[in-house]
Amino acid sequence: MNTQIPVIKTVDLNLFYGDFHALKNVNIEVAGNRITSIIGPSGCGKSTLLRVFNRINDTIEGVSVKGKAYFENTDIYHHSCDIDLLRRKVGMVFQRPNPFPLSVYENVAFGLRVHNQAGGGTLDAIVEESLRSVLLWNELKDRLNESALDLSLEQKQRLCVARLVAVRPDVILLDEPCSTLDPMATMKIEELMVELKKKYTIIIVTHNMQQAARVSDDTGFMLLGELIEFGKTSAIFTSPEKKETEDYITGRFG
Amino acid sequence: MIRLDPKRSQNIAFAILLIVTILIIVPVLLIIGVIVKEGYSAITWEFLTGMPKDGMRGGGILPAIVGTLSIVTCAICITLPIGVLAAIYLNEYAKDNLLTRIIKLSIVNLAGVPSVVYGLFGLGLFVMLLKFGVSIIAGALTLSIMELPVIITTSRQALNSVPYSFREASLSLGVSRWQTIAHVVLPNALPGIMTGAILSIARISGETAPILFTAAAFYVPRLPHSVFDQVMALPYHLYIISTQIPNMPKNITYGTALVLLVMVLTMSLTAIVTRYYFRKRKKW
Domain with B115 in it: what CATH number?
1.10.3720.10
CB–CB of B57/B245 below 8 Å?
A: yes
String of DSSP letters for B192-248: HHHHHHHHHHHHHHT--HHHHTTTB-S---S--SSTTS-B--HHHHHHHHHHTSTT-
The pLDDT of residue A116: 79
In a domain, B29, yes or no: no
Contact residues, chain B, for A177 at CB < 8 Å: none
Helix (H, G, I), strand (E, B) or coil at B161: coil
Taking Cα atoms as reference points, which of B64, B61, B42, B39 lies closest to residue B50?
B61
In a domain, B100, yes or no: yes
CB–CB of A27/A227 below 8 Å?
A: yes
CB–CB of A53/A8 below 8 Å?
A: yes
Q: What confidence tens digit (pLDDT) does each residue in A187-242 have?
A: 888 998 998 999 999 999 998 888 999 999 999 999 999 999 999 999 999 988 99
A119 vs A157: CA distance, rounded Å: 26
Q: Check if A180 contacts B (Cβ < 8 Å).
A: no
Instruction: Count residue pairs from A and B with Cβ separation < 8 A.
Output: 73
CB–CB of B52/B60 below 8 Å?
A: yes
In a domain, B48, yes or no: no
> A151 to chain B: nearest residue by CA?
B283
Q: Which of residues 47-66 of A touch B (CB under 8 A)?
A: 54, 56, 59, 61
Distance from CA of B80 to the nearest CA of A (A): 25
β-strands A35-39, A201-205: how paired?
A: parallel
Taking Cα atoms as reference points, which of A229, A95, A97, A67 lies closest to residue A175?
A95
In a domain, B85, yes or no: yes
Inspect the interface and report whether the beta carbons of B173 and A164 lie closer than 8 Å. yes
Compute chain B's Rg from CA coordinates: 23
Of B166, B175, B179, the CB nearest to A98: B166
Domain that holds residue B110: 58-281
The pLDDT of residue A120: 61
In a domain, B163, yes or no: yes
In a domain, B30, yes or no: no
The chain-wide mean pLDDT, for chain B, equals: 92
Q: Which of residues 162-181 of B touch A (CB under 8 A)?
A: 163, 165-176, 179
The pLDDT of residue A144: 92
Inspect the interface and report whether the beta carbons of B173 and A91 lie closer than 8 Å. yes
Mean pLDDT by 10 residues, chain A (254 residues): 75 93 93 92 91 90 91 90 92 93 93 78 88 90 92 92 93 92 87 90 92 93 93 91 89 72
The pLDDT of residue A1: 45
> A57 to chain B: nearest residue by CA?
B168
Query: Which pLDDT band holds residue B279 (cuts at 50, 70, 90)?
Result: confident
Inspect the interface and report whether the beta carbons of B183 and A110 lie closer than 8 Å. yes
Q: Check if B96 contacts A (Cβ < 8 Å).
A: yes
In eight-state DSSP terms, residue B174 is T
In a domain, B269, yes or no: yes
Q: What confidence tens digit (pLDDT) does each residue in B69-96 have?
A: 999 999 999 999 999 999 999 999 988 8
Q: Check if B161 contacts A (Cβ < 8 Å).
A: no
Q: How many domains does chain B have?
A: 1
In eight-state DSSP terms, residue B58 is E
Q: Structural domains in chain A? A: 8-249 (3.40.50.300)
The pLDDT of residue A180: 85
Inspect the interface and report whether the beta carbons of A84 and B165 lie closer than 8 Å. no
In a domain, B78, yes or no: yes
CA angle, A221 then A226 then A231, to 5°: 35
Residue B256 has pLDDT above 90, yes or no: yes
B14 vs A245: CA distance, rounded Å: 60
